[in-house]
């Protein structure tokens, strides 16, 4: 294995000093550049994953612009989640047990992210995947689904059979609609265009 890897490397550091009027990402070039980084070594309880596919979520777009609740590390690889094969363990029975498995993962904060050839994840947060799960689905298995379940949990605490939310055509909202249907809740989704109804 080579000592270096290709990655989409963060150009900014920390948080943005000003919040732009339009936070929609028009181009990634200002925020990440294709570069090379050292292949990371996992620590105890961590695994190194050879990334097969990584997602691009709105949280990733906000993060690379310095507008997310986690500071950027200039020169590090971006990308919160992905799917790939565990190729090395940093030690520990759980990490050792994942070697050779295809997993959905969230990149460890401060380690190279999922937008690189190799990433580091805590073994306890990796989800082993069965063969029938496509890489496209595995790469998006954690961030939006867990957020949807957390938000739906807030709805359930309010003990109301119906709830209203915006961005009804988003992946996050579609997941909330599915969770609501499973438990006989009535979601009311607001969308921007008639075509999204």
- Of 87, 67, 69, 77, give the one whose Cα is nearest residue 34: 77
pTM score: 0.86
* pLDDT score for 197: 82
In the chain, what are the domains?
Answer: 4-135 (3.90.180.10), 143-196 (3.40.50.720)
Residue 49 bridge partners (DSSP): 86, 119
Tokens of 84: 């790939």
* pLDDT score for 164: 92
Per-residue model confidence as pLDDT tens digits over 122-147: 999 999 999 999 999 999 999 999 88
């Amino acid at each position: 294995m080579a000592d270096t890897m290709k990655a989409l490397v963060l150009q900014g550091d920390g948080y943005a000093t000003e919040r732009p009027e339009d936070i929609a990402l028009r181009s990634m070039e200002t925020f990440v550049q294709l570069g090379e980084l050292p292949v990371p070594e996992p620590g105890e309880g961590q695994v190194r994953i050879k990334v097969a596919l990584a997602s691009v979520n709105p949280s990733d777009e906000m993060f690379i612009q310095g507008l997310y609740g986690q500071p950027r590390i200039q020169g590090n690889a971006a990308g919160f989640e992905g799917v790939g094969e565990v190729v090395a363990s940093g030690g520990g029975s759980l990490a050792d047990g994942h070697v050779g498995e295809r997993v959905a993962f969230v990149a460890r904060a401060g380690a190279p992210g999922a937008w690189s050839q190799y990433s580091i994840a805590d073994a306890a947060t990796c989800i082993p995947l069965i063969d029938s799960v496509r890489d496209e689905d595995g790469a998006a298995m954690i961030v939006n689904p867990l957020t949807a379940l957390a938000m739906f949990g807030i709805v359930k605490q309010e003990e109301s059979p119906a709830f209203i939310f915006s961005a009804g055509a988003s992946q996050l909202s579609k997941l909330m609609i599915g969770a609501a249907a499973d438990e006989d809740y009535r979601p009311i989704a607001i969308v921007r265009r008639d075509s999204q109804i």
